[in-house]
Structure 1
Amino acid sequence: MSAAPNTSIDAYFDLVGQPAPGGPSLAGLARLQLGHIMAIPFENLNPLAGLTVPLDIPALLDKFTHRRGGYCFEHNLLYRHALDTLGYRTTPLLARVRVNAAPGVVTPRTHMLLLVEVEGERWLSDTGFGKATPTAPLRLVPGEAQSTPHGVYRLVPEGDAGDSFLLETDAGDGWAPLYAFESRPAYPVDFEMSNWYVSTHPASHFTRDLIAVRTVANGRHVLHNARYSFYAVDGTATRKELATPAALVHLLENTFGLAAGSVPGLGAKLSEIVSPRGEGFER
């Protein structure tokens, strides 16, 4: 008989770290955001294997507490649930991903993030943007370079309304665009629609490419198809290619901490991608 699903929010805090004592605070928000990102990997094994991606809280709790991760909707919906439980004021948003997008191209709203109001200010807080996920809250002010444990970011205003921003990261040789968003709220039906698209559409890279990211104190482990990379916080990077499905499963299990061997249908997909298929951005 299989074990009963673990649907208690206490299990989430056991996984990511207990919340700071007292009421909502910026320090408590930063602690929970970093703890979440370092405890729960970013990955797309379900859509790659042709499996559904449920977004209800019990399903997310059960998945994350059984050595699995997910992508933005999964991460940020559960993260928001935890913040709301702790009394934070959160607003869920949708963003248009600008990574690798040609100038002038309008991309769909396929990324979820949060605005959190705490200590009299608004902060961008995101736990699900792959290898470029900010590991600390970002103050919602334009043009200010903001350091996090894993990189420097800034928000650039877009348009004339004053509520639209482009998030950029310092790529070493200049600022690189990540995603654009407006500060108006999105709703569960919006996330369901976007989640359905990114998890099922044949043009979605989540249905075609193997992507996994695990953040650790000194950098990020990144897997994109058969290429494994480690991006250190000092700016150095190491890379290697994996040649067999077994090597990919071993890496997913041991370096990323994922129960990859138990994902139905994943083995066949890994067999298709053991050869490198070009560069991409591991989101």
Structure 2
Amino acid sequence: MDLQKYLHRIKYDGALDATLATLSKLHRAHVSHIPFENLDIHYKQWISLDHDKFYAKIVDRKRGGFCYELNGLFYEVLQTLGFETYFIACSVYIQPLQNFGPYFAHVALVVEYKHEQWLVDVGFGSSFPEPLKLEFEKPQKLDGVIYCMQRINDTEISLNRSFDDGETFTPMYKFTMKPRKLSDFQEMCTFHQTSEQSPLYQKKLCSIAKSNGRITLTPNHLIITEDNKRTEIEVKDEQDFQQKLEAYFGFQMIAQNQS
């Protein structure tokens, strides 16, 4: 991995020492410049759990990815810089079902720094902008959103968030602290690419955080949120989708498939 090319990709030119300040700035830079997207699934480009392929796709081809790719690449970056980090398995809360999905459907990271643990996640569709300290029943506010972790039982922890005054929280996902290998997620990576039960298989999506909001592209709408103001622009057809993908995210899928 060419670390400098990655840093150029996320437009980061700050310190590279293995400190909490560096971790927070890298985390924010990553989610602000690399989109969450599942387009390979919908354009029949197979995704393998391979760090070299993550790098080639995200850095060389200036694409995004979903959790295994984004957090897989970020893990390599953190390892290169000397951070103590490992993968953890997560179970995403499925809002329509009002329940959690299967474990390993999402991967996140834990970073240990000065006897403290931090939850790191640059691969969730609408992730938090900076690492969250692993502590319970203590709200943490980032960019107007309040996050709070709770113990479910002896091994499981839930991550919840509130978009209002911090009184009403909705689960994001639950996780355990057991260290995992990326290969442990192979079965669920295949599931996301082949099963109609996977939300990632059901609808294509490309989304990126911005300093004052978020830009999200779906088959039907381009959604731009700025300073809590939401604007929806219709996506007319596949050609329009590709044009908006290039205009707002800097790449097209059709051109890649034809190359």
Distance in 2, Cα, partners of 1:182 & 1:26: 22
Of 35-44 and 238-247, the range deviating more from structure 2: 238-247
Q: Which sections of structure 1, spanning at least 5 residues, go unmatched?
A: 1-6, 266-283
| Aligned pairs (5 A) from 1:1-283 | 7-18=1-12, 20-21=14-15, 23-65=17-59, 66-100=61-95, 102-103=97-98, 106-130=101-125, 132-149=126-143, 151-159=145-153, 161=154, 163-172=155-164, 174-232=168-226, 234-264=227-257
Decide which moves more: 141-150 or 56-65.
Answer: 141-150
Residue pair 1:19, 1:32 contacting (<8 A) in 2 also: no
Q: TM-score, normalised by structure 2?
A: 0.91
How far, CA to CA, are the matches of 2:209 and 2:196 in structure 1? 28
Identical columns (%): 25
1:22 positional shift: 5.7
Query: Which runs of at least 4 in structure 1 moved beyond 4 Å after TM superposition?
Result: 103-106
Deviation at 1:176, TM superposition (A): 1.4
Structure 2 match to 1:269: none
**RMSD of aligned C-alpha atoms?**
2.0
Distance across 2 between alignment mates of 1:251 and 1:172:
31
How many angstroms apart in 2 are the aligned matches of 1:98 and 1:119?
A: 31
Q: Work out the number of aligned pairs and report it.
A: 255
Distance 1:147 1:192, change over 3 A: same
- Aligned-pair distance for 1:151? 2.6
Q: Is the 8 A contact 1:45 1:263 kept in 2?
A: no
- Checking the alignment, whether the CA contact within 8 Å between 1:212 and 1:223 is kept in structure 2 is yes
Distance of aligned partners of 1:139 and 1:158 in 2 relative to their CA distance in 1, 3 Å threshold: same
**Separation (CA, whole Å) in 2 of partners of 1:105 and 1:15:** 34
CA distance in 1, matches of 2:99, 2:127: 24
Which stretch of the first structure deviates more once superposed, 249-258 or 106-115?
106-115
Gaps of at least 5 residues in structure 2 are none
Q: TM-score, structure 1 length as denominator?
A: 0.83
Offset of 1:105 from its aligned partner? 5.5
Say which SS state the counterpart of residue 264 (structure 1) adopts.
Answer: helix
**1:255 alignment partner, SS class:** helix
Cα distance in 1 for residues equivalent to 2:100 and 2:32: 33
- Structure 2: how far apart are the matches of 1:249 and 1:171? 31
Question: Secondary structure, in 3 states, of the residue corresponding to 1:117?
Answer: strand
